[in-house]
């Protein structure tokens, strides 16, 4: 080892797959992790000593909507927010503006956009349009998309349509051959549309009516339906966001039965409560499925019970003007979250559990890397993995959304105090965020194909 001179050493308290290693070091060569150690440092061209700060494998956001507003160039702003939030790989959803990713041509265009605009690495979901048929699924899978996503409710007629049950069944059948998960946006369209119509008719269009417009029955009906189709086909059915403990319990029951089912949590469901927060946040906390009331404790219990497969941001790149409109039913659903996912989740974990660093690493790095087929390239500090690293400094840090890097500069977390901040981020060995400034560049990001 004394013969070798590494490109870089990153030193700190390493969050390893099995333990925390104080005064550990990660040695980087050619963008990959070459060695892990402790004690005296080997020779290197550069040494970044982060003292006792926590050194994590780069975080993988399992659910980003980078391009739903600004189109494919939206990768530039969104990926800078990712780096400032310690996220080195975004798993991007297929609902691009103006057209979704459902053909090989659109996949090629999106990969080119990643490699032109993105500051971080990107894995890609694909989708299938209503009536399109499943012929594109095998080629898209072969080209490296990490999963398919469909919706039980229309959010936009072209970009984000609703898939009817016969199409959904055919997609699940075709997915089995590819081995890819199929993710569902789980809300029943008829129930939600009827509830919205009734509320509008009654003149109830202020933010507190978002929650009753999307009753738990709508979420559970869509979730249960999809799990049953998973049971019938043998497909991997992935519920991309569950807002209520009943959903996690239902997925767990299907898992026990042997169904390939997984349940994703978005971090805002673990943080906000509709009764407590809608008065001060209004449309700034509008997400779908909605943030519910009185379930925070039970959701945290599901995390402790092992019923949550991963935690993601569901970052949506909506400007605040798109939210602050007269009727809550015209406000865009979705919130920015790449920059706050790790600091807010770490803060809440530290207040509730004895091992916040380990749980954070598992839920926001290891598990998404494995689910989306990025392991063993992403998701761990271990030799041979990409040298993607996020350094977390603990302390007391007020969050000011006006300084965000996503080009949106608003957040429901604005004004909160976090117990951690991202002090540095590295992608493939290069420092791309120094705790104050983005030091990477557009086009450094790469498409990460799913490992076969
Ligand atoms: Zn989403």
CA 335/CA 313 separation, integer angstroms: 9
CA of 335 to the centre of ligand 1 (A): 10
pLDDT at 2 over 60: no
Q: Classify domain 8-55+384-433 at the CATH class level.
A: mainly beta
3-state secondary structure of 276: helix
CA of 40 to the centre of ligand 1 (A): 45
Name the residue ranges covered by the structural domains of the chain: 8-55+384-433, 58-371
CA of 94 to the centre of ligand 1 (A): 10
Please check whether residue 228 is in contact with residue 220, taking contact to mean a CB–CB distance below 8 angstroms: no
- DSSP β-ladder status, 47-57 and 389-398: antiparallel
> Which pair of structure tokens corresponds to residue 368?
């998404």
Supply the DSSP symbol for 365.
Answer: I
* pLDDT, tens digit, 9 for 90 and up, residues 105-134: 999 999 999 999 999 999 999 999 999 999
Please check whether residue 16 is in contact with residue 46, taking contact to mean a CB–CB distance below 8 angstroms: no
CA of 241 to the centre of ligand 1 (A): 8
CA of 64 to the centre of ligand 1 (A): 7
Q: Quick one: average pLDDT of 348-371?
A: 98
Q: Which residue has the tokens 């659910």?
A: 63
58-371: what fold?
A: TIM Barrel (3.20.20)
CA of 73 to the centre of ligand 1 (A): 19
CA of 96 to the centre of ligand 1 (A): 12
Q: Would you state the pLDDT for residue 1?
A: 47
CA of 93 to the centre of ligand 1 (A): 7
CA of 313 to the centre of ligand 1 (A): 8
Neighbours of ion ligand 1 (CB under 5 A): 63, 314
- Identify which of 92, 371, 121 has the alpha carbon closest to the alpha carbon of residue 239: 371
CA of 348 to the centre of ligand 1 (A): 22
CA of 400 to the centre of ligand 1 (A): 24
CA of 314 to the centre of ligand 1 (A): 5
* pLDDT, tens digit, 9 for 90 and up, residues 198-248: 999 999 999 999 999 999 999 999 999 999 999 999 999 999 999 999 999
Q: Is 24 exposed, middle or buried (0-12, 13-18, 19+ CB in 10 A)?
A: buried
DSSP 185-242: E---HHHHHHHHHHHHHTT--SGGGHHHHS-HHHHHHHHHHHHHHHHHH--EEEES--
CA of 108 to the centre of ligand 1 (A): 22
Residue 363 CA: distances (Å) to CA of 39, 42, 359, 374: 29, 31, 6, 14
CA of 63 to the centre of ligand 1 (A): 6
* pLDDT, tens digit, 9 for 90 and up, residues 146-167: 999 999 999 999 999 999 999 9
> Which pair of structure tokens corresponds to residue 77?
């702003």
pLDDT at 255 over 70: yes
Grade residue 282 by pLDDT with cuts at 50, 70 and 90. Answer: very high
CA of 37 to the centre of ligand 1 (A): 38
Fold match, 8-55+384-433 / 58-371: no
Q: Would you state the pLDDT for residue 3?
A: 60
CA of 365 to the centre of ligand 1 (A): 18
Q: Would you state the pLDDT for residue 452?
A: 74
């Amino acid at each position: 080892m004394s013969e070798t001179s590494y490109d870089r050493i990153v030193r700190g308290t390493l969050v390893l797959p099995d333990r925390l290693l104080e005064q550990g070091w990660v040695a980087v060569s050619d963008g990959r992790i070459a060695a892990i150690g402790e004690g005296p440092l080997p020779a290197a061209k550069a040494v970044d000593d982060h003292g006792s700060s926590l050194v994590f494998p780069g975080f993988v956001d399992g659910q980003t909507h980078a391009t739903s507003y600004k189109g494919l160039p939206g990768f530039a702003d969104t990926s800078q927010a990712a780096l400032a939030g310690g996220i080195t790989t975004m798993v991007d959803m297929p609902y691009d503006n103006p057209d979704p990713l459902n053909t090989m041509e659109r996949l090629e265009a999106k990969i080119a956009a990643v490699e032109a605009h993105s500051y971080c690495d990107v894995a890609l979901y694909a989708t299938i349009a209503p009536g399109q048929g499943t012929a594109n699924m095998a080629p898209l899978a072969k080209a490296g998309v990490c999963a398919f996503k469909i919706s039980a409710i229309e959010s936009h007629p072209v970009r984000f349509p609703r898939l009817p049950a016969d199409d959904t069944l055919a997609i699940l059948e075709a997915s089995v051959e590819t081995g890819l998960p199929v993710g569902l946006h789980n809300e029943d369209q008829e129930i939600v549309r009827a509830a919205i119509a009734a509320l509008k008719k009654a003149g109830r269009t202020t933010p507190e009516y978002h929650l009753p417009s999307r009753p738990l029955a709508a979420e559970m009906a869509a979730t249960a339906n999809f799990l049953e189709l998973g049971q019938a086909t043998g497909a991997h059915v992935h519920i991309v966001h569950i807002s209520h403990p009943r959903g996690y319990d239902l997925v767990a029951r299907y898992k026990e039965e042997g169904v390939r089912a997984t349940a994703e949590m978005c971090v805002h469901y673990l943080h906000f409560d509709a009764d407590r927060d809608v008065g001060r946040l209004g449309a700034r906390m509008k997400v779908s499925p909605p943030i519910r009331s009185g379930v925070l404790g039970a959701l945290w219990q599901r995390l402790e019970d092992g019923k949550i497969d991963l935690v993601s941001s569901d970052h949506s790149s909506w400007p605040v003007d798109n939210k602050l409109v007269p009727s809550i039913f015209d406000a865009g659903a979705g919130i920015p979250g790449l920059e706050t996912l790790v600091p807010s989740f770490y803060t809440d974990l530290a207040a509730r559990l004895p091992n916040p660093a380990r749980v954070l690493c598992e839920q926001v790095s290891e598990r998404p890397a494995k689910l989306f087929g990025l392991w063993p390239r992403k998701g761990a500090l271990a030799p041979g993995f990409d040298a993607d690293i996020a350094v977390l400094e603990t302390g007391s840090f007020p969050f000011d959304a006006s300084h965000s890097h996503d080009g949106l500069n608003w957040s429901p977390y604005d004004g909160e105090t976090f117990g951690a901040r991202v002090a540095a981020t590295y992608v493939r060995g290069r420092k791309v965020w120094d705790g104050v400034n983005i030091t990477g560049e557009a086009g450094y990001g790469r498409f990460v194909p799913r490992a076969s």
